[in-house]
Amino acid sequence: MKRILVTLPVTEEQKRQYSNIAPEAEFIYCRKEEVTAGLAARVTAVIGNIAPSLLAVNQGIEWVQLNSAGTDGYLAEGVLSGSAVLTNATGAYGTAIAEHMTGQLLMLLKKFPVYLENQKNRIWKDAGRVRPIIGSNILIVGAGDIGMEFASRMKAFGAYITGIRRTVREKPDCMDEMDTAENLEKRLAQADVVAVCLPGTRETFHLFSERQFAAMKEGAVFLNVGRGNIVDTEALVKVLKEGKLWGASLDVFEQEPLPEDSELWSCPNLLITPHVSGGFHLPYTVDRIVEISLKNLTAYIHHEEYVSVVDRATGYKVSGSL
């Protein structure tokens, strides 16, 4: 018997959709914080992110549908058996995170944090020149679903967009140029805005360190919504305190929650949000994750082709996977 654990915040209608696809299966609904080792040991499939250590207790799990695009921790040896299928939620977060990035970028370019602080202190003062998006060169490092959604919005503002991918395929309409990571430093020197939308993998660890920040243009803006360990925190603190960057926005950090004594809290021209650009904050995102999971549940029950299958070697969606 298929026994499927679901930790997504699904509606009663969505539960009915699951049951209609797999009427013979037993569905167990609970919050991820409520999942015990005993429960994890009894299921054949999981829809949602539970602790990798809980998955490791059950080497008989046949399919895991992550509610995240990132696969941090789930690719470690011993977490899943070699025969288990791992799928992620690539394609679900683009809208929410791209809108978050657009808002943060506009705040920085138009100096809204300065005016908000002045408002609190009842100060009527012009904060000086601001920056446009139109005509700016925007480098998107990680031109996947999130990067492409952000590119589409920036294109509408009139920016020139360059995307960085592991391999260059056909250039999408929302990009003006495409390149690979081997030319990252050259592209950084040309960019007015650098937006990082990469997953956390061995290859992306501290991809942005002193060398990369040194290569960036004076007065550039830096955004990171990928993973916190992509950025060497000390190196970013240094360039912010030196005033090299116009500003930066971080939604992800090397250590989360961000410690109270972190130097980032006091860095000038830095916007901090507590890893909220994605998650379940936008109902549309949850609906998209459920949609992906329904397709994969059909594949699981009827032995059909899965979507958003994760390549265990890279942590990315399998090339060519729907």
> How many whole angstroms separate alpha carbon 298 and alpha carbon 304?
7
Q: In the annotation, is 129 catalytic?
A: no
Helical (H) or strand (E) element with 85: strand 85-87
AA letter at 270: L
What is d(CA 115, CA 123) in angstroms, rounded to the nearest whole number?
9
Q: Could you give the CA distance from residue 39 to residue 26 in angstroms, rounded to a whole number? A: 13
Torsion sign over Cα 238, 233, 136, 204: positive
Say which of 100, 187, 227, 288 is annotated catalytic.
227
3-state secondary structure of 65: strand
CA distance 292 to 307: 7
Backbone angles phi, psi at 285, to 5 degrees: -65, -45
Element (H, E) at 224: strand 221-224
Q: How far apart are CA 150 and CA 143, in angstroms?
A: 9
Given the residues 256, 281, 304, 305, the one annotated as active site:
256
227 in catalytic set:
yes
Element (H, E) at 154: helix 145-157
Cα–Cα distance, 262 to 144 (Å, whole number): 31
Query: Which one of the listed residues 153, 166, 275, 312 is annotated catalytic?
Result: 275
Q: Catalytic amino acids? A: 227, 256, 275
